[in-house]
Amino acid sequence: MGTGDQTTFWDTGSQQVSGSVTGRGPRLVLLHGLGQDHRIWAEIQRALPEYHCFAYDIRGFGSSPLGTGAGTLAQLGQDLVEFLAAVGPATCVGFSLGGVIALWAAAERPELVERVIAVATSSVVGKAAAAAMVQRIELFETASDERIYELMYEDTAAQLAKPGNDVAALTRTRIEAIGDRGGYLNGARAVCSMRDESINDRLPAITAPVLIINGKNDLWCPRRAAEIMLEQLPDAEFVELPGVGHLITDEDPLGLVSTMRHWLQSERQR
């Protein structure tokens, strides 16, 4: 296995997965969101050397092959289960779609998921959001590379709250992560599937402690999204980071690290 920002590959049995592994200590498995890859965790991994951090690329993103994409949350959740079976039980930290995947796995295989940290995550997809995602899928199936860049630039700008962010650089990284768009389309279809099969219905079955972290200025996953999850989770806490939008890992990675570390240390003392 490689370390640091060097790309590493794991064979989980049914698929090959790419990512990065750092540190030594209790295991953390880090999952990115839609239109990203494992690199969103790079600064966070460097700031947590006391944890054995595995950041992997969801199928179809980064260097992870898409394989036969089912376009379901269950498939992405089962991918995580297989990864955990390969590396060992861990605390799962997921951003946006990655948070939903972590929650699915926690309900499905509680012996593999010790804790969940859900960052900028929503457990429900409303009618309007689902319709918007269907339109997004149609665009990604047919639009030119130039139009996709424009769309991702607009998304990125809308997901940031602090002044001075390099939107163009972040957009270029996201375009690289998307590659041939197959993983994005698969992930977007999985999001749409949540309209009919809500992950919210699975939350009461989660026995692992859960920490929900939101940005106060997040327009994509606002406070209400966290409140809905808190109503269903048996053992959960909520922290809201001030002055931050949806892209918490880009806007306030050190604030995120501080919040994670404090909670993880307090959990070990329980």
Model pTM greater than 0.75?
yes
In a domain, 2, yes or no: no
Q: Is 60 left (phi over 0), alpha (psi -120 to 50) or beta?
A: left
- Cα atoms in the 13 Å half-sphere on the side-chain side of 63: 14
In a domain, 1, yes or no: no
In a domain, 70, yes or no: yes
The terminus-to-terminus CA distance of the chain in angstroms comes to 33
Domain count of the fold of the chain: 1
In a domain, 89, yes or no: yes
Q: At 89, which helix (H) or strand (E)? A: none
In a domain, 55, yes or no: yes
Strands 16-22 and 8-11: antiparallel
In a domain, 160, yes or no: yes
Residue 199: C-alpha distances to residues 85, 106, 152, 186 (Å): 22, 11, 26, 17
In a domain, 3, yes or no: no
Question: Which structural domain, as residue segments, surrounds residue 180?
Answer: 8-268
- The CATH number for 65's domain is 3.40.50.1820
pLDDT means per 10 residues in the chain (270 residues)? 63 90 97 97 97 98 95 96 97 98 98 98 92 95 97 97 95 97 98 90 96 97 96 97 97 97 90
In a domain, 234, yes or no: yes
